[in-house]
Structure 1
Amino acid sequence: MVTFQLEFQILETQNEKNLSSVVTDLNIIMEPTEYPELSELVSRAEERRDLFMFFRSLHFFVEWCEYRKRTFKHFKEKYPDVVQLPEGAASSCLGIQNASQPGFELVIVWRIQIDDEGKVLPKLDLLTKIPQQALELDKKNVIESAPLSFRTLLGVLGIEASLESLIKLFFNTKE
């Protein structure tokens, strides 16, 4: 839940043919949240005095947050021994670990970015935590290229299928 308060002034002008309204002053007061992206959105909306951009971006931001939460919850329930949500149900990170391979961990960081125009986009990154001994055995730099390969996989399969594939391939998990 995101709470905020709006204060704005509108200047209306009318000529012979039409009536137009322009926001001349905009102040958005938002309670501190765990989403730093929203403070940037508020600043841009106030600077541009663009209520439409603010509401549109906020709507899509909340939609992406809910989708991330549902997706992470799905994988936590499906693979409870492998998937961890270190920050709880609303986590922006999903950890993939397997007790039979201690020291190996993959972390998916799923941020939701809002660009300068107010467009809301998901950004997923793969981080690897691999023991030094395993890194030394990786002559083909598979581990080093894993983040880029994951981005390619996202472009081909989409978010859910990429996460599913990663969990199954990395840990040879069978359904």
Structure 2
Amino acid sequence: MEAGWAEVRALEAEIAELQRACEKLPAPQENASRIQKSLQEILQSDSEGQKSSKDLKSQLEHLKTELSFLSSLTGLNIRNYSKKDLVSAGMTEKGIKKVMQRHRLSGNCRMVTFQLEFQILEIETEENSSSLITDLSIIMEPTEYSELSEFVSGVEERRDLLMFFRSLHYFVEWCEHRKKTFKHFKDKYPGTVHLSEGPNSHCMEIHSASQPGFELMVVWRIQIDEEGKVLPKLDLLTKAPHRALQLDKKKVIETAPLNFRTLLGVLGIEAAIDSLINCFV
């Protein structure tokens, strides 16, 4: 009997302990509420992540649209770009941090392609930060535009990237304008106008059908000054038989280049060339 009562008391103690443990457990409704709250937080987090992803995609599309607009407006298209840290130093005792980076990029401005390599030294202090181009190398293609050679040398010496891109844009625009203008007169006067160097020629020859031996040549060069300003320069060269030069008492042939420059200032390029052709033919 004593053994039986001992077993009963042990069972009662175990039951009491289980009851106390059950009282500590959350009620079913409370547990369900916690689960529902956790699910809502997970769903909300997923929703915010999707919204953030959509915002990033929208921003990316907007940047692509702006880049496409700038490329069509300026003609500049960057195809490849890379950056590499050469030297990186932590803050010195004076609170100055220096970072040297090498940049490489290649692209084109319509028909002119280019490759650039330059180094930038970034200096950061506690008050402000600044950057300086320490080295610049430019390779241009095609090389048929001789006007660009001297300009590129000047840009490399000055290490002025902004002037390079700005001047290149206007230079290419003038090249295309020259090409279209010469083509227009070649199509309008096919038997009179000749482009011996092809469609990208910087010279336009005018032959007289009624006066054999007489020739005019319009030389159209595009100059870039030291400040990067792009300007067209047109000159007129004349060719006439020696006998005609002797008979030209009024020096019409000799003064033709000067008169042509005056005509350019009054009428403009297209009208001046058209007037010249009609007078000569």
TM-score relative to the length of structure 1: 0.93
Match of 1:91 in 2: 201
Q: Which string of whole-angstrom CA distances, capped at 9 and with x for unpartnered residues, describes residues 105-155 of structure 1?
A: 110000111111111111100000011111111101111100000001101
SS of 1:135's partner is helix
Select which of 229, 233, 242 maps to 1:119: 229
2:112, 2:142 within 8 Å by CA — same for their partners in 1? no
Opposite residue 177 of structure 2, the aligned amino acid is Y
Match of 1:46 in 2: 156
Range with greater deviation from structure 2 (27-36 or 123-132): 27-36
Range with greater deviation from structure 2 (14-23 or 145-154): 14-23
Distance 1:29 1:95 in 2: 32
Q: Does 1:167 align with 2:281?
A: no
Identity, % of aligned pairs? 74
Q: Does 1:65 align with 2:209?
A: no
- CA positional deviation for 1:98: 2.2
Select which of 239, 257, 268 maps to 1:147: 257
TM-score relative to the length of structure 2: 0.59
SS of 1:13's partner is strand
Q: Does 1:131 align with 2:241?
A: yes
2:220, 2:232 within 8 Å by CA — same for their partners in 1? yes
- CA positional deviation for 1:36: 1.6
1:8, 1:24 within 8 Å by CA — same for their partners in 2? yes
Distance 1:31 1:111 in 2: 18
- Which has the higher relative contact order, 1 or 2, with Cα contacts under 8 A spaced 6 or more apart? 1
Residues 16, 158 of structure 1: CA spacing in aligned structure 2 closer, same or farther, 3 A cutoff?
Answer: farther
- CA positional deviation for 1:17: 5.0
Q: Does 1:107 align with 2:214?
A: no
SS of 1:101's partner is coil
Range with greater deviation from structure 2 (6-15 or 77-86): 6-15
**Greater per-residue helix proportion:** 2
Where does structure 1 lack aligned partners over 5 or more consecutive residues?
Answer: none
Larger Rg: 2
Match of 1:157 in 2: 267
SS of 2:201's partner is coil
Residues 17, 154 of structure 1: CA spacing in aligned structure 2 closer, same or farther, 3 A cutoff?
Answer: farther
